[in-house]
Structure 1
Amino acid sequence: MSHPTKKTNGSAFFLFCLGGLASYGGSRRRYGRDFSKDDILEQGTRQAIYETIEKNPGLHFRRICRALDKKMGVVQYHVSVLEKNGLIRSIRDGRYKCFFAENTDDMISPEDRPSEEEQSLRESIITSLRRKTPQLLITHLAMETVASHQALSNVAQVSPQAITFHTQKLQKEGIIESEKQGRQKFYSLSSKARTITESLMRAP
């Protein structure tokens, strides 16, 4: 007696396969084997995404898609695999999610690794430098040391109200400091932010 052939649903089979890949991506250890960075980056698109983030720290999701000319769903999947395996991390910058490559170099001594506070500040500066008005404010303060509210408004060519919005955000992130003198407010980079900004500006 012949048994009826079970019809396989194509969509269900695809989701089953995708689920298997996702479980691979969610852990570096599977079936008793530890997956190395090279194992995870064997897939061509995933490697291209990782290298793009590594060379362009602070890129947000849509810019990665545009840089590689890939569909959002494809990039989202591989970004998720990279993030779950600790090869990249993301931070929120307003409505954008920005990505950074994790430093996986075991040769770096703990003393030479930046603290979490320093790393967070550096990433905040990098993401701010990718936006027009914050970039103008930070680079101006890096060169001029101190600037008034009105001076920053003139430099960025935006309204004083817009300067208030941006300076409050930069202050909250620890990038700039302010001091009131009479009726005027003056801004400068925090000492740690100045050191990081100057090193970024010197970088090739």
Structure 2
Amino acid sequence: MSVGTRNKGLLAATVMALMMSGLAVFLIFTVQNGSTAISANEISEIATMQQATVDCDFGFSSMKTGTSVILEDTITNTLGSIIPSLLIIGTISVDAGEDKHDTLRARILHEIENFPGIHLRELRRHLDCAMGALQYHLSNLEEAGLVVSHRMGNTRHLFIDGFTSEERNMELAALIRNATVRSIIQQCLAESEITQAELSRVLSLDKSLVSYYVSSLLDADIVQKLKVFGREKPLVVKEWAVKAIADLGLALE
């Protein structure tokens, strides 16, 4: 019997019904990707593949119920009734598709390339996939040298290998993933000089929120405060950051 992806639930329902009827049901399955067996921790990937087909055969036999008791170095079997049993042996064949863009791994690379500095949970939202499958692929991609990560605090940001070799560029790209940070940098670039109070008013943001993100930008050496006597020090974006935004094609929109 061959059961397509959408009908795998029918197989499960049938097995449950048989078990409730008194049959002892044994299932022996191997999972294959084409002709190559895949490991148990890859089974979660099946949901991301184009098609998964269950192929199985049924065999009826009988078994004896009862208990085995060890008594004076001998095994005594206390047999009960004989009940019918059902043995199901088969394979789950997975068709991953030939086009690499149809695979989760290719989609991960595509998203990271288009959104440098993206973090794990944001990537999962973009792909709408299982976290386990995503982490599995990312681990393999990092081991293969196709993806690199940079940790900022408790967050790991992802980049395609070769995006940049400079840590400060990675931090810039990672911070720009935040919409508020992008707005602050945009406004700083639009004005020759602007204070935090002016940013708060122009962007309609709470002063404490502006202060929080400006502190992050100061710590990353992306902006600096000008020395002005007698009033609040205005902010400017540093030259290296302006150049990096242009060279790396980082979007501020």
CA distance in 1, matches of 2:251, 2:191: 16
Matched residues, number: 162
Deviation at 1:124, TM superposition (A): 2.0
Picking from 48, 51, 62, the partner of 2:121 is: 62
| CA distances 1:98-154 after superposition (whole Å, capped 9, x unpaired) | 2110029xxxxxxxxx6x4xx322222222222122111111112213211211111
SS in 2 for 1:82: helix
Picking from 189, 192, 195, the partner of 2:243 is: 195
SS in 2 for 1:99: strand
Structure whose alpha-carbon radius of gyration is higher = 2
Output the TM-score relative to the length of structure 2.
0.55
SS in 1 for 2:188: helix
Deviation at 1:43, TM superposition (A): 9.4
CA distance in 1, matches of 2:175, 2:150: 12
Higher-helix-fraction structure: 1
Question: Structure 1 residues 186-195 or 45-54, which shifts more?
Answer: 45-54
Matches within 5 A, 1:1-204: 17-18=39-40, 44-103=103-162, 116=165, 119-181=166-228, 182-199=230-247, 200=249
SS in 2 for 1:146: coil
Higher-strand-fraction structure: 2
Task: Give the letter aligned to residue 92 of structure 1.
Answer: R
**Percent sequence identity over matched residues?**
25
| Aligned residues: CA RMSD | 3.3
Deviation at 1:94, TM superposition (A): 4.5
CA distance in 2, matches of 1:188, 1:18: 54
Output the TM-score relative to the length of structure 1.
0.66
Structure 1 residues 195 and 179 mapped into 2: Cα distance closer, same or farther (>3 Å)?
same
Deviation at 1:191, TM superposition (A): 1.0
Q: Structure 1: state its 5+ residue gaps.
A: 1-8, 11-15, 21-40, 105-113
